[in-house]
Amino acid sequence: MEQQQNPDHHRGGDGGGRLYCVTGATGYIGSWLVKSLLEKGYSVHATVRNPGSANCDHFLKLWRGGDRLRLFKADLHEERSFDDAVQGCHGVFHVAASMDIVLPPTNNHDSVQSNIIDPLIKGALNILKSCLRSKSVKRVVFTSSISTMTALNNDGEWLPVVDESCRIPIDVVWNTKSSGWVYVLSKRLTEDASFQFAKENGIHLISVVTTTVAGPFLTPAVPLSIRFLLSPITGDSDLLRLLSTVNSRMGSIGLVHTEDICNAHLYLMEHDQAEGSYICCTNSCTLSQLVDYLAKIYPSPNLHRIVGAKMESAPSEISSKKLKDLGFRYKYGLHEVIHQTVDCSIDAGFLPPNKNKSTSHDAMSTTRLQAS
């Protein structure tokens, strides 16, 4: 179901007349991706759950898409719900996801499979089926997560490099049930099912394996990934535990700027040689390094100094080599991502102003880590 848009006719850039669909358009990545596509001159079909909501009005004022933007009501769990949205589109960015990242470890196998994982897989396949019916969609770019990867080999030893082949074994997730395990499992199984369906039906599917996305945001609420990253400051116990779990599994925390992750989605949509999965990571730091840097730019007696698993060697490198070998370049370095995240969180009222907080220029002049 479609709802016509904002009368503003702002234009800019040169998208070559291409039309793209973005699912989950009011989420953190989705909202920025819509903004980025419109600024580059593309036309966009954005799917949302409730086009008439105040939340959508908020985004329409920011996107300023004019006649190049149309909203469509769509639900992952309703078959053919995305048919109208993808019709006539050159490609689809499947960014939408609908689940809580932090769930109790007490859920049994059957409950998790039937109540969470199966509906998410069905939702992803519903979108791919709509793409098949459209006859126009040439490529689908799927937003995955670094949670589907691991830096540990089968013997529990650290791998020197984490690349796209380092998939976390499904049985390990089921057996350990560490913090965030249902999210990890759902992402892994949904991606597997999507690639299998795409292969069987001739759909060109690309997966963007995102690390922790941070930096500026358009959403009225502070995105979960930012609350996750700043949990050493806020003391959110669930997210602190999850942050420690990620550090223990990956050996470090991988980060990527909002703008870079959206640019990577578009780059992989349009590059002729793109195939398979691509890790998107500006750089990474250990949990202790993250806390040390947060302490420099946002001094606070409440800063929680937590550490993950003790490492006997250097942490694994979360490698974005495959993406960079394709020609993609990052705009923002690791410390820029962290610093902008703190600044934007203060502006949004999520963090209180800190009179001792260093300026971006001062911090970057001494500790900046360039993107490579």
Give the residue numbers annotated as catalytic, written as ranges: 187
187-to-17, 190, 319, 330 alpha-carbon distances in Å: 33, 5, 20, 25
266-to-18, 110, 271, 276, 280 alpha-carbon distances in Å: 12, 37, 9, 15, 13
Task: For residues 174 and 168, give the distance between their C-alpha atoms in angstroms, rounded to a whole number.
Answer: 11
> What is the crossing angle of helices 287-297 and 334-347, to 10°?
50
Nearest to 140 by CA among 203, 84, 62: 203
Task: For residues 91 and 141, give the distance between their C-alpha atoms in angstroms, rounded to a whole number.
Answer: 8
**For residues 329 and 274, is the Cβ–Cβ distance under 8 A?**
no
- What b-and-e string marks burial along 209-235, b requiring 16 or more CB atoms within 10 Å of the CB? bbbbbbbebbbeebbbbbbbbbbbbbe
First and final CA of the chain: distance in angstroms?
43
235-to-176, 225, 304, 351 alpha-carbon distances in Å: 25, 15, 7, 12
Task: For residues 213 and 282, give the distance between their C-alpha atoms in angstroms, rounded to a whole number.
Answer: 10
The backbone torsions φ and ψ at residue 282, rounded to the nearest 5 degrees and listed phi first, read: -60, -50
User: How distant is the alpha carbon of residue 103 from its chain centre?
Assistant: 19
What Rg value do the Cα atoms of the chain yield, rounded? 20
